[in-house]
Each structure stands twice: as structure tokens, then as C-alpha cells.
Structure 1
Amino acid sequence: MSVSVIHLLSDSQVEDLVALYQKEWWSKSRTLHDVRTMLANSDLIFGLVDDETGRLVGFARVLTDMVYRAIIYDVIVADDRRGQNLGKRLMDAMMADNVLTSVASVELHCLPSMESFYGKWGFVPNNSGTRPLRIRRGDAPIGDKASA
């Protein structure tokens, strides 16, 4: 089966993405509403679509200032399509993108078990002495105004 890289998802492909998210520990609480909002506010979208069915089988997104920094989020491949080099195809498409090739620093977060996979594109652990810091507000839906 062949796949194509796309940069805009149809409504049914957004639903496919939510289904992909709901199968992963790190994204299973994401809702259709929040995913639509996320997509509208992401700078670059990379989808892999099965050419026969139109089904979204891979996805990643990027937030960037287009000059100094970019961060890759949500690299995901459908569990029934893993082992077919689709993760490699997705990463190749992103790393060859004209915007990302001109950005000074591209980052992503991954589990230690995935470092060797991402290392194929030059990603290495951050040894600059800095560490990412985070305020974690959970997976609250966008617009949820919990009282303090």
C-alpha cells in the first residue's frame, strides 16, 4: 500500500487522528474539539494518508518561529501500520521541509528508547547544560477555567 504526505487534514482524517491519539498513553484523553483547535494553531502539519482508503496512518506537527526555534510534537503511526517504515517516511518529510531546513534549532521530546530512532536525523540529548522546564496543567480541555 502506498501513502502520501499531506499538510491539511480532512474532517474524517481529523477523526482518524483522534482515534490514533486515543490508543497512546500520552494522548488518550484528547478530544475532537481540542484536536481541531490544536491543528488550527500548529505551524506545520505532516500527515501520512493511505492512498487507497484516505485514512490517516501517520501524523506529526511543528510549532516554530521560522528562524531560531522549532519543536516537533506528536509523531505517531497507526499501530496496524508500524514496521513499514512510515515513521521514517514522516521524519524524512519533516526534516526535508523548506521551513525546517532553515530553522537554527529543531527539538523534540521522546522516551530514551526512541533516541536511536531520532538520532538518524541528528537529534541528540541536550547536553548544553539547559533543561526543559514545564508548568503542567494536566490534560484539561482548552477553555476549562478551573477556579483557583
Structure 2
Amino acid sequence: MHITTDKTALDVALIHDFLSTTSPWAQGIPLETVQRSIEHSLCFGGFIDGRQIAFARVVTDRATFAYLMDVFVLPDYRGRGYSRSLIESVQNHPELQNIRRFLLVSSSARGLYEKFGFRSPVKPEAFMEIHRPDIYR
């Protein structure tokens, strides 16, 4: 799999389709919202034979904080190590070195992320959020 951070290479229609119809976390997300999120994030696209099959994006200040989100591999390509390659590319990106706090939220792939050093928060009581799970409906 070839992985790039070139946003012009991304298949935004494919990303939007997956997020809005298949992902459990962004059901119904508008195309304009996906476009804006890509514009303001460090994005990683995974490609096989010129076709995008994977995606991840990182919201970051590129100095102290990063939040990994919208990670997916298309269902037909799962179980082949592509998600591992994608996360390795994220962690090895030069602008994400020495990040003090690198967060993610995952309910289904914890085992994968734990292999890369992600753990439950040391002080979960210190984390707060405003969560609007039905905002796109």
C-alpha cells in the first residue's frame, strides 16, 4: 500500500461515503464538513493500484498535541495489515515527532492502537468533553 499526505490525491467522495454511511461515528456527516475537516487536518491516504482504500486524519498543532481520528480501511481490504501500515505512517510522520499528548477515541480497534503505545488515560477524571453523537442527523 502506498501512503501519502498529499490532500490533492485523496478521494474525498470515497471518504465522505465511508464516514457518512459506514462508520459508526460520523453517520450522516455532510460533505462540506468532511471537506473542511480534511482542509484543516494532516491527512493520510492509503492507495493500492491508484485506488484509495484507507484513510486517517490527525488534528494537530504539530508541536505538542495531536488527535488521531476518522481512521478506516475499506472492508474488502481489512485483515491484510493495511491499518498497521497506516498507523505506522502516522506515528513516523516528521511533524508528529515529540508530541506530548496524542489522543484517539476508539471503541472497536483498541488492540491495534495498543500495539502502537496508546493506552487509556492515566487520569480519566481529568478529561472532559462535549459530545453530540447525533449532530449530523
> TM-score, with normalisation over the residues of structure 2?
0.87
Counterpart code for 2:109: M
- Matched residue count: 135
What amino acid sits opposite 1:26 in the alignment? W
Alignment partner of 1:66 is 2:62: yes
Partner of 1:130: helix, strand, or coil?
Answer: helix
Q: Which residue type is aligned with residue 89 of structure 1?
A: S
1:35 aligns with 2:34: yes
CA deviation map 1:30-89 (0-9, x unaligned): 1222111111111x1111012x2x222111111112222111111111011101111101
* Structure 1 residue 128: Cα displacement: 2.4
Q: Which ranges in structure 1 are unaligned for 5 or more consecutive residues? A: 142-148
Larger CA Rg, structure 1 vs 2: 1
Distance 1:12 1:100, change over 3 A: closer
Give the structure-1-normalised TM-score: 0.81
What SS does structure 2 have at the residue aligned with 1:73? strand
Distance in 1, matches of 2:2 and 2:135, equals 31
Name the residue aligned to 1:79: 75
Paired position in structure 1 for 2:14:
16
Q: Which amino acid aligns with 1:74?
A: D
How far the C-alpha of 1:102 sits from its partner, in A, is 2.1
Letter in 2 for 1:62: V
Q: CA deviation at 1:10?
A: 4.0
Say which SS state the counterpart of residue 135 (structure 1) adopts.
Answer: coil
Cα distance in 2 between the residues matched to 1:131 and 1:110 = 18
Which of 121, 127, 131 matches 2:122?
A: 127
- Percent sequence identity over aligned pairs: 24
